[in-house]
Every structure is written in C-alpha cells, then in structure tokens.
C-alpha cells in the first residue's frame, strides 16, 4: 500500500523523505526519460519501463536515445548513482511504486484513426501490480475523454481498485519545443487535470517539488487532454501556413527564407520555416478530428492545415523529379543520397523524423537510396534500418541527387566544390532545410531546388 494519495507537504518536503518513494515512468522515449530525470533530480527513486528491450539495453549502456548532450549526461549520472533503474517488467515496477506515470506514445492506424492499444496494454500490466493509495498520471497524448474511459476502466478492471477512491488519477501536459527536452520540462508550466480534488491536490503537490515552474490546475481531465491537443494543432496550423507560403514563394520567384527572416525581425512572433511535419504532430490533430466527428463538430481550419502538411512529402518527390528532369534524368534508377535522419537540427534523435517515409517513397518510385547523417554512426543507422554508406565520400560517390532533410551545422559545412568531383554529373540538390545557398550550389554546377526557394 502507498500513502501517495494522502501526502501532505511535510511528507515530501526534503530530499531524504522523497528518497523513500518510488516513481515508475512507463515509456522511455524523450518525454518519459525527461520526466524520469525530473523526479530523479528531486531525489525520488525512479524506475524507467519500456516494452522494447532494445531501448532498455541502450539506456543501460548509457546510450540515451537523444542527441541533447546535457540531457544524456544527466540521465547517465542518475543511472550511475542508482536514482534511475530501467526494466521491461511493467507489472513488477508498478507493484513497487507510489506514483505510476504513463508516457507511452499513441499511433495512427492505416485509416488515420488513433490506436491506443499500446497504452491500453501498459495500463493492463501496470494495473495488475498497482498499489492501493498510489497516484496514476497519464502524460501520453490522447483524445479528450480517453483517460477517464479506456485507460481508467482498464486500470480498474486489472487492479480491482477504484479511481479517485483507491488510487489517484490525473492527466498532465507539459510542452516541449526547444532542443533540450529536459530544460523545457523543468521550466515550462504544468497543466494538470484530475478525476477529483483529492487526486488534483496530490499530483500538484508532487510537481511542486520537482519543478519551480507554475502549476496550472484545470477543472477536469478532459480539459487537460484537450489542451495538449490544442497546442499540437496550433503548431500544425502555423506550420501549414509557413508551408503554403513557401509553395507560393517557389512559384512566385521569392525566397521564403529571406521573407521569413524579415518577418521575424518585425512584430511577428516566430514564423516557422517550411518543414515536413513528423508523425508526432500529425497524430494529435487526428485525435482531435476523431472526437470532433463523435460530437458532430466541424474543424475546417485544422483539417485543411493537416492536409497541407501531409502533402509536403509528395511535394518533395515533385521537387526531386523536377530537378532530375533538368539534368536529363528520372527518379527511376537514379542514385539518391539523403543527408540527415534526425527530426531536428544538431540533435541525434529520430522519433519525429519523416525521413523513413521519404526513403520508402523514393524506393517505391524506383530510386536507389542511401542515407548519411554525421550525428549517427554507420552501425546506428543500420540498426535504424536505413540503407547506409560508411563514409561521406561513399554517400556522394556516383550520386545523381543529394536531398538535404535537416539543417545540421555539420552539413552546412559541407564543401560543394569538393563534393562535385564525386557525384555523377550533371547532379542535383534538393534542399529541404536551407543548408546551401542556391547561387553557391549552382555556381558549383549543381541543379538546385529548395523548399520555399523561388
């Protein structure tokens, strides 16, 4: 039995007292590990749980699945000092924990419908070991109402306990947008909704001691779930506008990046660069769409934004076809080198990357594709199931087209005046990440197309 549900401030107001309590974080992706580090930094004992043994093995070796060096070092420090342990045994971890946090990502099925089966399975396993009096916190992105229906019912059925009476239940949302997930989680406000006042107060008290940021209490779990979706849809809409203006700029002979830089110097707030949105931001809108369909609500702008962003991968193929055609070549049988598999510049992480989909699309169109990313070793790229070359020279040797997908500083340092001697001329560049100056690329003899480059 746990006393977490009835904790008072004096129960966890020192590192010694917090050190007597255990937190399980189920799901060891970026979100889960960041949450684990927050609790470990506050001296809670933490068990990281993941059903993927490969991820568990990586973490045990200190190979954190994130390229943020400070975050990686912090995680390794907590592992070494024993404040974080990792396992694939969900039931056992829950049976030792005062707090159980679900950070398991959702998926979309082939019909773009949310698939919560992995979260449901985790709840079933955790429920079997769940302690009476413990706190359950859902951090996964889910549709409004999912926590209090599917997840609550699964936990209750497998545990024999009642939410709000025998265990606390809450949903928490923390936004993370910068390169440092842990820094974001430490500093950003936490939005908390709970099944009842008792659960809300207990979870709010816990987060008071793991973060100095503001805690925003909302009236119920469904509101907190919706806020998480709204934030992602807001980003999706902003990204769609940037992508649409970039497509216009290409046809109008305008350099969108020049326009974007000028706009952001005025009173505009961070107009984003055009981008191909990864799976994470495409998942949340579809969760909102499903709920809108259920309640007969219409989301015109959000739906259109998702359509615009979803079409950007096809636009990449169009750019590739066009630039190869200008070289007298076709995508079919062309050797294409894709530079960058990360989801963000200068970060070794692939969770939200679109590159796997791009490689698959190019292969289906008859291209011979290889991948290179300076932040990943040859072995790491093989483990990610990419067609990979061992060296930069091998990656460009005989290539008909180079596709730049992410703006790593180390890619911006590539010297086209050397690369041009290894490619199969005439060669092309498709620049999705503003890596090369178009005039510099053309000066070195490359045919050039860039996302948003007129």
What residue ranges do the domains of the chain occupy? Answer: 4-220, 253-454
Rounded Cα–Cα distance for residues 222 and 282 (Å) = 20
What pLDDT band is residue 281 in, cutting at 50, 70 and 90? low
Rounded Cα–Cα distance for residues 90 and 72 (Å) = 24
Rounded Cα–Cα distance for residues 173 and 336 (Å) = 40
Strand, coil or helix: what is 167? Answer: strand
The DSSP element (H or E) to which 252 belongs, if any, is helix 221-252
Rounded Cα–Cα distance for residues 46 and 397 (Å) = 48
Mean pLDDT of 35-41: 91
Rounded Cα–Cα distance for residues 19 and 84 (Å) = 12
In this predicted structure, the answer to whether residue 129 has a pLDDT above a threshold of 80 is yes
Query: Which pLDDT score is estimated for 179?
Result: 44
HSE (side-chain half, CA atoms, 13 Å) at 175: 18
Q: Which residues pair with 102 in a beta bridge?
A: 26, 138
Query: Which pLDDT score is estimated for 214?
Result: 83
Q: Which residues pair with 22 in a beta bridge?
A: 45
- Give per-residue pLDDT as tens, 167-185: 999 999 987 654 445 555 6
Strands (E), 92-242: 99-102, 107-108, 114-115, 135-138, 168-173, 190-194, 215-217
- Give per-residue pLDDT as tens, 223-262: 999 999 999 899 899 999 999 999 999 999 999 988 888 8
Please determine whether the domains at 4-220 and 253-454 fall in the same fold group of CATH. yes
Output the average pLDDT for the chain: 90
- Give per-residue pLDDT as tens, 326-348: 999 999 999 999 999 988 888 77
Strand, coil or helix: what is 45? Answer: strand
- Give per-residue pLDDT as tens, 431-451: 998 899 999 999 999 999 999
Instruction: Give domain 4-220's CATH superfamily.
Output: NAD(P)-binding Rossmann-like Domain (3.40.50.720)
CATH of the domain spanning 253-454, picked from 3.40.50.720, 3.60.21.10, 3.40.47.10, 3.40.640.10: 3.40.50.720
Does residue 125 contact residue 100 with C-beta atoms inside 8 Å?
no
């Amino acid at each position: 039995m746990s006393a977490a549900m009835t904790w008072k401030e004096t129960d966890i107001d020192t590192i010694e007292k917090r050190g007597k309590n255990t937190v399980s974080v189920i799901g060891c992706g970026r979100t889960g590990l960041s949450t684990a580090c927050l609790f470990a930094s506050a001296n809670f004992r933490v068990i990281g749980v993941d059903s993927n043994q490969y991820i568990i093995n990586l973490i045990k070796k200190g190979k954190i699945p994130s390229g943020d060096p400070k975050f990686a070092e912090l995680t390794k420090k907590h592992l070494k000092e024993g404040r974080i342990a990792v396992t694939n045994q969900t039931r056992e971890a829950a049976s030792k924990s005062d707090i159980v946090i679900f950070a398991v990502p959702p998926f979309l099925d082939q019909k773009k419908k949310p698939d919560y089966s992995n979260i449901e399975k985790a709840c079933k396993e955790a429920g079997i070991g769940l302690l009476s009096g413990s706190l359950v916190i859902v951090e996964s992105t889910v549709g409004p109402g999912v926590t209090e229906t599917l997840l609550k019912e699964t936990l209750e059925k497998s545990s024999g306990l009642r939410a709000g009476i025998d265990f606390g239940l809450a949903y928490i949302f923390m936004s993370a947008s910068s390169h440092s997930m842990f820094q974001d989680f430490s500093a950003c406000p936490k939005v908390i909704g709970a099944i009842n006042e008792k659960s809300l107060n207990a979870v709010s008290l816990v987060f008071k001691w793991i973060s100095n940021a503001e805690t925003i209490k909302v009236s119920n779990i469904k509101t907190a779930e919706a806020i998480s979706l709204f934030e992602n849809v807001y980003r999706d809409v902003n990204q769609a506008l940037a992508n649409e203006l970039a497509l216009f700029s290409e046809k109008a002979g305008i350099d969108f990046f020049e326009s974007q830089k000028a706009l952001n110097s005025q009173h505009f707030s961070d107009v984003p660069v055009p981008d191909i949105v990864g799976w994470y931001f495409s998942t949340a809108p579809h969760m909102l769409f499903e709920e809108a369909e259920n309640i007969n609500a219409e989301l015109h702008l959000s739906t259109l934004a998702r359509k615009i962003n979803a079409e950007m991968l096809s636009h990449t193929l169009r750019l590739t076809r066009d630039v190869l055609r200008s070289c007298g070549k076709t995508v079919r049988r062309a050797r294409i080198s894709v530079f960058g598999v990360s989801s963000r510049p200068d970060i070794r992480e692939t969770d939200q990357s679109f590159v796997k989909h791009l490689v698959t699309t190019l292969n289906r169109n008859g291209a011979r594709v290889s991948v290179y990313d300076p932040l990943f070793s040859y072995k790491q790229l093989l483990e990610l199931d990419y067609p990979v070359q061992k060296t930069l020279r091998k990656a460009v040797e005989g290539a008909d087209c180079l596709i730049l997908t992410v703006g790593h500083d180390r890619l911006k340092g590539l010297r086209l005046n050397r690369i041009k001697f290894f490619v199969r001329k005439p060669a092309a560049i498709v620049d999705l990440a503003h890596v090369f100056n178009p005039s510099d690329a053309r000066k070195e003899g490359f045919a050039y197309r860039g996302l948003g480059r007129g």
